[in-house]
Amino acid sequence: MSIAELPLADTASSDGLDAVRAWVDDIAALAQPQEIVWCDGSLAEADRLTKQLVAEGKLIRLNPEWRPNSFLARTDPGDVARVEDRTFICSEDETDAGPTNNWREPAAMRAELRDVFAGSMRGRTMYVVPFSMGPVGGPISQVGIQLTDSAYVAVSLGMMTRVTGRVLELIAAGRPWVPTVHSVGFPLIDAQGIARDDVPWPCSPTKYIVQFPETREVWSYGSGYGGNAILAKKCFALRIASVMARDEGWLAEHMLIIKVTSPEGRVFHMAAAFPSACGKTNLAMLEPSIPGWKVETIGDDIAWLRQGPDGRLRAINPEAGFFGVAPGTGESTNRTAVNTLWGNTIFTNVALRDDGDVWWEGLTDEPPAHLVDWEGNDWTPDSGRPAAHPNSRFTVSAAQCPSIADDWDAFDGVPIDAILFGGRRATNVPLVAQARDWRHGVFIGATVSSEKTAAAEGVVGELRRDPFAMLPFCGYNMADHWAHWLEVGEKLGTNAPAVFQVNWFRKGADGRFLWPGFSENARVVEWIARRVEGSADSVDTPIGRLPVVDELDLDGLDLPSADVDALFEVDADSWLAECDLTEEFFGRFGGRVPAALRAELASLRYHLRA
């Protein structure tokens, strides 16, 4: 597909396409690809590209009997995860990037990038991939184009976004678009014209993942992996989109979205921000343990939220697929995720079974007797090393998920009733608490943390702060992000969703988890839903509103009363110590911390001492 082949309704309205042409020509002149291919997102195109990747040795086709139309990719051992120390926010003013981002001066970075991109695609094909984040043309959706010299990335974009020529039609009609540029940094022909053989996973040891907030651009070089290379994901959908959202009055957040239906048939939509390893995917695909309740998936990773015409906060999942961590995903922990992966899936850095299927730690209780590990070496249970890389992944269409909600791609988004924040806390934070109001909820989101090590009872351990679960993903100063949330709350007024904090990971004095978690988390979701509809009471404490324990459905859990008490204990001394840590954390942001959050901290201290 080319721009010239598009059936444009109004060919006179093509200034946007002229800009696209000029940009593609500029990058092509710089990177010098052998060929340019315009992608259309069709099944035929995906079939052609996967066959090409298999022929080149870059994908292994899995046994179609067990895993139809599915593939295994093995990356270079040096290209297995996001590269945070090489991720840059190049805002015009360094203070706009804030203390939690790596900043570089934009002009200097552009010069560096043009140096490494010069000739980086020699001998390769440059794919032009137009994509929509969210339903095409929707009021909360955005569009972009990625240039990449990786067919693996082009195929992955087709699963993770809505790749379609209709995006170019929208651009022709004047829709703003985000340009993103990617190269693996492994040209097949050098500057002297000398050719070299390709490798199964081309990449460069030198890596850049660069966001230019003011001009809404992303440049990525050297990596072919995940969020470093699939630029619609964290780079666009969070780092760039968060800046767009700040400037335009909406929110781009690292949040799952679920649809909850009560036994009475009432529907609730909830968004939740959890840092990694805090049960995010499990909540997104929750199978409730309590009768009559139903939880369906709308999104597992990113939410874009905007006030709708009715005044309520509405949300979309801007992605069209899941890019999930494989290890730990199994029949006992997340059966829904496992069932999503029946076919049409790309697995990256998992192990290969002798029968041509895949395996990873946690998929089954017992490992197979023999595997080929993620690096292509023989493996047995006695090998003393993981068979799958700890950050191995699956890429699959969200539409395949058995728990996907019928409104998961609603054109106008879904109305959000509640927002949840959670970290991994062995101490202090109760199982669930409701914020007193939106401002208190923003304070909770800003102070989300996990303990780095197991803490002794009543002692606050070293905290790893991850405000709003956005630490690696906010495209501007984190303190300004908190201020933006406060402004959004003011506009929402009485239409603002209720805000809650949850913690599935509190431990007893003996070090064991007090709460069973997983499907039993539905009991907490039930209380949140009942609070939203006004049918459950609460108890006021200095840290928020806790459940009346008798109203929490604990039937069949056999939880000792001492454990229940411990799940909701609020120890004033430990919380006062945490207040000191919060003040120290706020100190990193200087005068940019909103006065309202400092007032919340002062109020918390006052009530703890009362």
Closest C-alpha among 578, 584, 586 to residue 604: 578
Closest C-alpha among 284, 287, 264 to residue 273: 284
Assess whether 278 carries a catalytic annotation: yes
- Provide the strand spans (E) within 203-284: 208-212, 217-221, 251-253, 256-261, 267-273
SS percent in the chain: helix, strand, coil, step 5: 30, 20, 45
CA–CA separation, 145 and 178 (whole Å): 6
Closest C-alpha among 100, 51, 78, 90 to residue 464: 100
130 SS3 class: strand
Q: Which residues pair with 173 in a beta bridge?
A: none
Question: Which residue type sits at 504?
Answer: W
Closest C-alpha among 287, 290, 302 to residue 254: 302
**Torsion over CA: 261, 249, 484, 310 (sign):** negative
CA–CA separation, 254 and 271 (whole Å): 10
Q: Which residues pair with 146 in a beta bridge?
A: 129, 180
CA–CA separation, 275 and 260 (whole Å): 22
Inter-residue contact 145 to 169 (CB < 8 Å):
no
CA–CA separation, 302 and 161 (whole Å): 12
Q: Which residues pair with 358 in a beta bridge?
A: 352
Q: Which letter does DSSP use for residue 233 in this model?
A: I
Q: Which of 39, 90, 278, 474 is catalytic?
A: 278
The strand pair at 177-183 and 217-221 is best described as: parallel
92 SS3 class: coil
Q: Which residues pair with 180 in a beta bridge?
A: 146, 218
3-state SS of 160-224?
Answer: HCEECCHHHHHHHCCCCEEEEEEECCCCCECCCCCECCCCCCCCCCCCEEEEECCCCEEEEECCC
List the alpha helices (DSSP H) in 7-42.
Answer: 15-31
Q: Count CA within 13 A, CB hemisphere, residue 599.
A: 6
Inter-residue contact 449 to 423 (CB < 8 Å):
yes
Q: Which letter does DSSP use for residue 154 in this model?
A: H
Helices 241-248 & 478-492 angle (0-180, nearest 10):
40
Q: Which letter does DSSP use for residue 497 in this model?
A: P
Question: Which residue type sits at 266?
Answer: R
Question: Which residue type sits at 304?
Answer: W
CA–CA separation, 525 and 326 (whole Å): 25
CA–CA separation, 246 and 298 (whole Å): 24
Inter-residue contact 556 to 519 (CB < 8 Å):
no
Catalytic residues: 278
